[in-house]
Structure 1
Amino acid sequence: MTADMPEKASLRRHLLAARAQLTSHDVESAAALLARGAWELAELAEPTGTDADTRAGAGAASRTVAAYVSVGREPGTRALLDVLRARGVRVLLPVLLPDNDLDWAAYEGADGLAKAGRGLLEPTGPRLGPEAVCAADVVLLPGLAVDERGMRLGRGGGSYDRVLARLARAGADPALVVLLYANEVVARVPEEPHDHPVHAVVTPEGVIRFVP
């Protein structure tokens, strides 16, 4: 992976500084709104009808979701993880490998999480391999910003660039969704050839979808 663009590094610093100003109350309030907005997405909604119905189109509810456990002042995902699991959705969570790639394991509840490096929380269950993400109907991507085209700005580690490349190689086409604070939907994110647009962003103020 090439060195980070100076424009990306500058935008990351600005957005992380804004997150650092958030209080615990701000984070908790936003997390509740984010969870409500996310679980009302058609792709994540309560499954209804037959299995054929749920796989028939853009409104189909997911059976497997690749997600992540929010930490610190990241937009909160934990309530959403529990709702999805309670609905019978298979939730996969990442396990960071030494080379920054991601393995995956099933989410079995908060008691099945353990502290890992870099302040992360990771599942303790059996590892399913990096290719397990290719079975996901929806992938929730962490990020710092999304622009009006759906281009996402990550933290710069490259882990999710590898995930997106792996999905493309496998011919997988899950819905790509990012959870953000409202101020993190920006006019333009600096773009590189490996960057990939997402399908939707959820903020405490609502859902924004992007036309492919």
Structure 2
Amino acid sequence: MGDGRNGDPGKAVWRTRLTAARRDLSHAQRVAEASALVDVVSSMALPDTVCCYVPFGTEPGSIAWLDVVRGAGARVLLPVIPADRAALEWAEYTGPQTLSPGRLRGVLEPSGPRLGPESVREAGLVLVPALAVDHAGARLGRGAGYYDRSLVHAGEDTALVAVVRDDELVDHLPTEPHDVRMTAALTPRRGFVPLPIP
């Protein structure tokens, strides 16, 4: 997948293919990959503030990584989806008991005070949900654009890390001018992978 030899398929084609592949995963595979991602995060040197997210649906990962990051002494900020498709708001995560259903079905969000879109600038690391990321750092999301509108507020030295399954780190993805490039990928088996890959 993703060699681009026959021309890049459109983003919609990629999303359909990747979403179907995730749906085909067994529960055991999901659990194993989530556990592996927690192990990877546990092994990382973390900055003072980390922006994470609560995986939902077929997204790789689990709530467990939030507590790993907090246990390492980092402040954890989680996204809050706005009503108007603007940039994401952020709020601090202080434990699973502070999570509640958000605007979108199945998405859990922190219930604490909203800190504004610019608070992502405080993070040294942002873990970003993705359907795929390519070797040059191009990320494919679900298409709503929340992260592309939000990551422009990140600091210049902030690590922007797409969390994907191993076979979702691909050679080439279609891009648009507004797409924000990732500086690394995080996968269950390969761990932390700096991007771009030569």
TM-score by length of 1: 0.83
Give the aligned residue type for 2:50. V
Provide the rounded CA distance (Å) in 2 between the counterparts of 1:115 and 1:77.
16
**Which has more helix, going by share of residues?**
1
Moved over 6 A (4+): none
For 1:7, the equivalent position in structure 2 comes to 10
Shift of 1:117: 2.5
Provide the rounded CA distance (Å) in 2 between the counterparts of 1:148 and 1:99.
32
1:1-212 → structure 2 map (5 Å cutoff): 7-41=10-44, 45=45, 61-100=46-85, 101-118=87-104, 119-167=106-154, 172-206=156-190, 207-211=192-196
Give the aligned residue type for 2:146. S
User: Sequence identity, in percent?
Assistant: 45
Provide the rounded CA distance (Å) in 1 between the counterparts of 2:161 and 2:9.
26
Q: CA contact under 8 A between 1:68 and 1:77: conserved in structure 2?
A: no
SS of match in other structure, 2:179: coil
Q: Which runs of 5+ in 2 are unaligned?
A: 1-7
Q: How many residues align?
A: 187
Provide the rounded CA distance (Å) in 1 between the counterparts of 2:126 and 2:55.
14
Give the aligned residue type for 1:18. A
For 1:14-34, what per-residue CA distance to the aligned partner results, in whole angstroms no more than 9, with x for missing partners?
A: 000001111222111100001
Q: Which runs of 5+ in 1 are unaligned?
A: 46-60
Shift of 1:6: 7.0
SS of match in other structure, 2:54: coil
For 2:5, the equivalent position in structure 1 comes to none
Q: 1:19 to 1:211 in 2, by over 3 A?
A: closer
